[in-house]
Amino acid sequence: MPSVLPLGDPAPSDGLLPAQAADGAAVRAFGLYVHIPFCAVRCGYCDFNTYTATELGGGASQDAYARTAVSEVALAATVLARSGVPDRKLGTVFFGGGTPTLLPADDLAMILRAAIGQWGIEDGAEVTTEANPDSVTRESLAVLKDAGFTRVSFGMQSAVPHVLKVLDRTHTPSRVPQVVQWAREAGLAVSLDLIYGTPGESLADWRHSLETALSYQPDHISAYALIVEEGTKLAAQMRRGEVPGIDDDDHADKYELADELITEAGLGWYEVSNWARTPEQACRHNLAYWRGDDWWGIGPGAHSHVGGVRWWNVKHPSAYANRLSQGLSPAAGRETLDAETRTLERVMLEARLQSGLEVSTLSPGGRHEVAGLIADGLVDPPAAFRGRLVLTLKGRLLADAVVRRILPD
Ligand SMILES: C[S@@+](CC[C@H](N)C(=O)[O-])C[C@H]1O[C@@H](n2cnc3c(N)ncnc32)[C@H](O)[C@@H]1O
Ligand code: SF4
């Protein structure tokens, strides 16, 4: 089953935001996330809010989804205006899932058109879609490019058949160079998602996946350690001893190898799990999340954030469609973050960025820790001397532990 939503306060049925949301909005960037909650097959490790045709049941249809999402775009514009948030053009748009490209490219184009019609879009804006390598064609990628998409992020995961099998992936390794070529021909920038630490994956397997991914010369790579999410098929397999458990040392070795090979290939890290060929090719939409900018999340289970007000939509596609068809906000709950919580979140997210964190934003206790972190080889000394906390390679391996040390007790 997909993961659960947070608790929080109830959200009003008209979706109106508290006054705090509008404060300073005119100078903050504004982005749009569009969640497409469908997949052809559920991968055994994934607990995202996504549904296969059999899981979906009655009441919600993939065919009607684009129209429902467009109705939330209209509602979003009304809610923001009525809440006093000034009109801003979109700086980034990100279609994620699920598998956005399981919908016809024309449906994704329709949602993007509606959003651009509503808010306008900045020159040079970044417009990304995630895609499963099995769910695009040469033609669909060309339609996306014509509609204004600039970037596609393919779930490659691995180039090794036995690893793809444990992950329940449907694509064969040879599909990836094919779709990368089509995306390039269409004029789209290409990112590849990789996963390391899958049960049964050797270091040599991981090296092969990295070398293969890099041979396609992507503009961007994300490499995430496999997380065993409670309630997934993979977690059950591990509990029953059918597949070996996760080994932290194996993860560390694989992260180091990833950083070494990806850096040698000319890409640079800009967040612990993300590398880009040039700073301009870093994912601006994700950077906006990590820096606490404003974004509206369209779709079931999607999260939004405007000026410290965070809310999330009802999770199931039928409940979502029902709310919107009655003219009601699909928001299920929300929370208004106080200044202290916003600072804490900023520390947790910005510490993971290559641009680092302003040491002066830390509490006195956190600032006091910096010398110890340098002594332990976790924080870069020259950057700290300039007043910024930037992780070393060892620090990136232990990022969560570093963050725990700099947060107030
Ligand atoms: C929405 S998916 C990308 C598009 C498409 N659904 C696909 O998988 O090809 C986003 C990424 O999250 C990764 N992901 C999902 N669950 C994960 C987990 N438990 N551990 C690590 N990565 C995970 C996926 O492998 C995928 O690359
Ligand atoms: S295709 Fe992507 S979103 Fe769908 S289940 Fe697999 S990893 Fe999750």
Q: What is the pLDDT of residues 207-258, one digit of tens each?
A: 999 999 999 999 999 999 999 999 999 999 999 999 999 888 999 999 999 9
| Distance (Å) from CA 156 to ligand 1 centroid | 9
The string of pLDDT tens digits covering residues 323-350 is 999 999 999 999 999 888 888 888 999 9
Q: What's the CA gap between 227 and 120, in Å, rounded?
A: 37
- Cβ–ligand 1 distance for 273 under 6 Å, the answer no
Ligand 1 mean position to 132 CA, how many Å? 9
The secondary structure element, H or E, covering residue 250 is: helix 248-264
User: Ligand 1: which atom is nearest the Cα of residue 155?
Assistant: 9
- pTM of the entire predicted model: 0.96
Angle between helices 399-406 and 339-350 (to 10 degrees): 150
Query: For all residues of the chain together, what is the average pLDDT?
Result: 95
Compute, in angstroms, the gap from residue 367 CA to the centroid of ligand 1: 36
Alpha carbon nearest to ligand 1 atom 3, residue: 155
**Nearest residue to 93 (alpha-carbon basis) of 112, 74, 80:** 112
Q: Which domains does the chain have, with CATH numbers?
A: 9-290 (3.20.20.70), 339-409 (no CATH)
Indicate the top mutation candidate among 1, 35, 36, 46 to test ligand 2's pocket, ranked by most ligand atoms within 8 A of CB. 46
How wide is the angle at C-alpha 50 spanned by C-alphas 44 and 56, nearest 5°?
105
Q: Which residues contact 164 (CB under 8 A, 6 or more apart)?
A: 157, 158, 171, 172, 173
Counting ligands in written order, which one lies closest to the CA of residue 42?
2
- What is the mean pLDDT of the segment spanning 307-315? 95
39 lines ligand 2 (CB under 6 A): yes
